[in-house]
Amino acid sequence: MLDRIDEPIVIREGGAEFRWTFRGWSEPGTDEIYIDPMRMEQALANLLLNAKKYTPRDGRIEVIVRKALDGTTGDPALLVEVQDSGPGIAEGDLPFVFERFYRSGEARKTSPAGMGLGLAICKEIVEQHGGRVQVSSRLGLGSTFTIALPLRAGLTKAGMTR
């Protein structure tokens, strides 16, 4: 039997409200993941707001959630990908996008607002959960940000929920 997950995320920005609903399913008794839902929502909200900020109105933003092997560690993981059809990030900027106060040249051109903190905060939250976040991007072709959270059977942590 499948348990249905249907959690809305509401983000308020500049007087406007944006809503995303994530739907997924999990099978009881399979791998478990323990997270601080409020912090993980903040990490995901930062990725979604960036995608919204840099994607044109007629563009595309997709969120893909799946269980797979982590491409870096080879361990089972929950992967959350946020893909957009925005302007992309230059190769030379990619190593720095998760640093505090860093904004790529393209980001400064297309959106003067922002302090360069959202991705750094996202990275800190994900790493506190034992995971990692990475980006792949090419100018003119959009970006994909991937959060990989380890799946661990039987792990419990204070203040975290399944």
Does residue 131 carry a pLDDT above 90?
yes
Q: Write 89-97 long-range contacts (CB < 8 A, 24+).
A: 89/135, 89/137, 89/139, 89/143, 90/139, 91/138, 94/135, 94/137, 97/135
> In this predicted model, what pLDDT tens digit does every residue of 56-87 receive, in sequence order?
888 888 888 888 888 788 888 888 899 999 99
pLDDT digits (tens, 9 = 90+) for 1-27: 234 345 555 556 666 665 555 544 444
Helix H or strand E segment including 37: helix 37-54
Give the dihedral of Cα atoms 95, 100, 101, 105; nearest 10 deg. 10
pTM as predicted: 0.76
Structural domains for the chain: 3-150 (3.30.565.10)
Mean pLDDT, the chain, integer:
78
Q: How far apart are CA 82 and CA 153, in angstroms?
A: 26
